[in-house]
Amino acid sequence: MQVRVDSDLCQGHTLCAMAAPDLFALRDEDGHAYAPDENVPAAQEERAQEAARSCPERAVQLS
């Protein structure tokens, strides 16, 4: 599984990082999130899904 944050959609709610702190980092200026490593470890897949669900902008994309 791979995770990315669509930076055009992300509005900096930072909820993804709450759901999966190990998968996301936040940019200082605007709270926008990014995934430092797009590859999701198997043990984190559930959290990645949780993060995708918790993003109000549907900016967290899994593939």
Partner 1 sequence: MVVGAGLGGLRTIERLRADGYPGRITLIGAEEHEPYDRPPLSKQVLSGDWEPGRAVLRDRAGLAGLDVTARLGTGAVALHGTTVELDDGGTVAGDAVVIATGLVARRLPHQPDGVAVLRTLDDALALRRALGTARSMIVIGAGFVGAEVTCAALRRGVRVTVLEALDAPCQRVLGRRVGELATRLFTEAGADLRCGTRIGRLLDGRTVELADGSVLSADLVLAGVGAVPDLRWLDGAGVRVNDRLACNERGRVVGMSGVWAVGDAAAWWNPATGDHHGGEHWTLTGEQAARAACDILGTEPPAAGPPYVWSDQFGLKVQVIGRTDTADELVQLHGTGLDGGPVKGTVVGYLAGGVLAGAVSFGAPARFARYRALVASGAPREKVLATIE
CB atoms within 10 A of CB 62: 13
CB of 1 to ligand SF4, least distance (A): 16
Q: Is 41 helix (H, G, I), strand (E, B) or coil?
A: coil
Assigned token pair, 33: 């999130």
Binding of ligand SF4 by 33 (CB under 6 A): yes
Nearest approach, Cβ of 58 to ligand SF4 (angstroms)? 8
Tell the smallest beta-carbon distance from residue 41 to ligand SF4 (Å): 19
13: which residues sit within 8 A by CB, 6+ positions away?
31, 55, 56, 57
- Per CB under 8 A, residues contacting partner 1 are 11-15, 17-18, 26-32, 49-50, 53-54, 56
